[in-house]
Each structure stands twice: as structure tokens, then as C-alpha cells.
């Protein structure tokens, strides 16, 4: 995947670098790089996905029931 960015005349380097970083972030390249930095076993990936799914279900259930920390009933 190639990314192209044009640096405008008289544009400060700091501003161009900031635009470049945002471009990388939006393209998903930094996320992919972090993901590939270390090998993850397939069983670990499945386990992480399962935990993420269970957490989302638990969170949705808590919001649906109105439960949570520090909440009291209707006033």
C-alpha cells in the first residue's frame, strides 16, 4: 500500500508531519504495524476475540438494565 502526500510550498515541517501522521492513522497502517510487531498464536487471537465479545455483551446488558457503579434508582 502506498500513501502519497504533497507538501505545500512554505508549509511548516511540523504541520506537514502532523498531516502525514493523520494520513497514516486513517489508512490503518499504524494499527496493522502494531498488530504484526509480535506473532500471536491463532488460539490466543481466538481467545482475545471471545473475551472482547463477552465484554461487549456484558456492557450492553449493564446499559440495558440501567445498572452500573454509583447509580441510584429513579428520584
* Domains in the chain: boundaries: 13-62
Question: What pLDDT score does 3 carry?
Answer: 84
In this prediction, the residues of the chain whose per-residue pLDDT falls under 70 are: 1, 67-75
Enclosing H/E stretch for 25: helix 13-27
**What pLDDT, on a 0 to 100 scale, did the predictor assign at position 74?**
61
pLDDT of res. 42: 95
Give residue for cell 481466538: 46
Task: Give the model's pLDDT for residue 67.
Answer: 67
pLDDT the model gives residue 35? 86
- Count Cβ atoms within 10 A of the Cβ of residue 19 and give its class: 0-12 exposed, 13-18 middle, 19 or more buried: middle
The pTM of the full predicted model, rounded to 2 decimals, is 0.50
Amino acid at each position: 500500500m502506498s500513501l502519497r502526500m504533497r507538501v505545500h510550498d512554505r508549509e511548516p515541517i511540523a504541520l506537514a508531519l502532523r498531516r502525514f501522521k493523520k494520513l497514516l492513522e486513517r489508512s490503518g497502517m499504524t494499527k496493522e504495524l502494531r498488530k504484526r510487531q509480535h506473532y500471536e498464536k491463532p488460539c490466543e487471537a481466538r481467545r482475545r476475540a471471545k473475551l472482547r465479545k463477552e465484554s461487549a455483551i456484558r456492557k450492553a446488558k449493564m446499559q440495558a438494565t440501567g445498572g452500573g457503579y454509583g447509580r441510584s434508582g429513579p428520584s
